[in-house]
Structure formats: C-alpha cells, structure tokens
Amino acid sequence: METEANLMIKGVPAYALEHPVWIVRVDELHQDSAWYFGCYETEEYAKAIITDIHRAVIVKRNPSAAVGVPRESIEKLIKQYQDGQKKYEEAIEPFMTEKQTAELNRSISMCDVIINDLKDLIK
C-alpha cells in the first residue's frame, strides 16, 4: 500500500539531497515528523533494508533531488522566475529607498546563486 503524507524529516545530511529514495523513522510522539535514517538509489534496495527498522517508511520521491525532472521543465521554471523578477524590479524600483534597493539586490544575488546551481544540475 502507498500513500502520500506530509512529514517534517529531521536530521537530513546534505549528501542525502542527491538521492531519490530515503528511509525515515516516524517519530513516536509526533506522527507528522520523522528522523532521517538513510538514502538509496533504488526502492528495491531500500525495501530489503526496511524490514529490520522499527517505525520506518520509505520516501520514494525525495523532493530535493532533481532525479527524473526533465531539463526543459527546470529551464522553463528558471525563465519564468527571471522574467517575473525583472517585471517586479521594474515596477517597484521607482518607489524604493537606498536601503530597500540594497536588500532587493542582495535577494536577487542569492536567487542567482540558486539559479546557477539548478543550471549546473541540468548540464
């Protein structure tokens, strides 16, 4: 049986974000949260391991991994974001103070870093 659930997964290491399948242990006290246990490349391997882990579930679609996301979809999202950001900047710029302009520029540069990371993923 499969079901979709919203879980806050705690203790996830950075390297796990690159793997599509996770095993997590559901918290006994808080059923809407879980603790990271391990990450795997295939669901079959995770199924072989999970039988020995108490309160464990498999997370099959790690939302942080870009596995299986078509390149065109990522490129389209990047373009939509950049177009929307440019329109927003043009609309708000005449009304901004120097401090607000600096904060907006800082936010834009942070977003540019994320966009460049996404572009690196789809190369």
pTM of the model: 0.49
Alpha-carbon span 3 to 10, nearest angstrom: 20
3-state secondary structure of 96: coil
Residue 37 CA to residue 54 CA, distance in Å, equals 11
**Rounded distance, CA 93 to CA 64, Å?**
33
Residue 17 DSSP class: G
Q: What is the pLDDT along the chain (123 residues), one digit of tens a residue?
A: 667 777 788 888 888 878 889 999 998 887 788 889 999 988 899 999 898 888 888 888 665 554 455 677 778 888 888 888 888 888 888 888 888 888 888 888 888 888 887 777 666
Buried b (16+ CB within 10 A) or exposed e, 99-116: eeeeebeeeeeeeeeebe
